[in-house]
Amino acid sequence: MANAIGMVEFTSIARGIYAADQMVKISDVEIVTACSTCPGKYIAIVHGDVAAVEDSVQIGEKVAGEFWIDSIIIPNVNPQVFPAITGATMPEKIEALGILESFSMSTMVIAADAILKSAELEPLELRLGNGLGGKAFFTFTGDVAAVQTGVETGRTIAEQKGLLVNAEVIPSVSDKLIPSLF
């Protein structure tokens, strides 16, 4: 069962593309996304069963060499993380809005998974580095109490790593803002 996610972050776009190719050749994983990010970095995110993802990330780290920044593996990732990364989410209704911002893309993936597991929440977007100077953010919705729980969960993770930029809760989002969230 494809319930694990792995990510490797590189300082070199060329090495990142090469490593992503090796990562999918070495084990039975699928690419969630493999792309350049700001500022001139590259990420490869794969999913599959736990053993396959572990093998894939391990080869990504090995091939990365001196261009390796960070890597993560989440064995039982919340399935809503995948569409959030690709921007393919569209909740029926936006209630309260939670926003978590981090200096680290890897930390944000870990935080997004924990946030979605912490309460009844729906993801909007998990943006990783593109147009953000290497930062990342996660937006999500639910009732006010659930969003507050999610923000506190994410805040704790990012603060423990020393990588929190900011976190906000908007209890009642303006209808004028909603179109800009997608």
User: Tens digits of per-residue pLDDT, 152-164?
Assistant: 999 999 999 889 9
- Give the mean pLDDT of 112-133: 91
Q: In whole numbers, what is the pLDDT of the chain averaged over residues?
A: 92
Sheet holding 68-74, edge to edge: 30-37, 41-48, 4-10, 68-74
Domains of the chain in sequence order: 4-74 (3.30.70.1710), 81-173 (3.30.70.1710)
Residue 1: its pLDDT value, please? 60
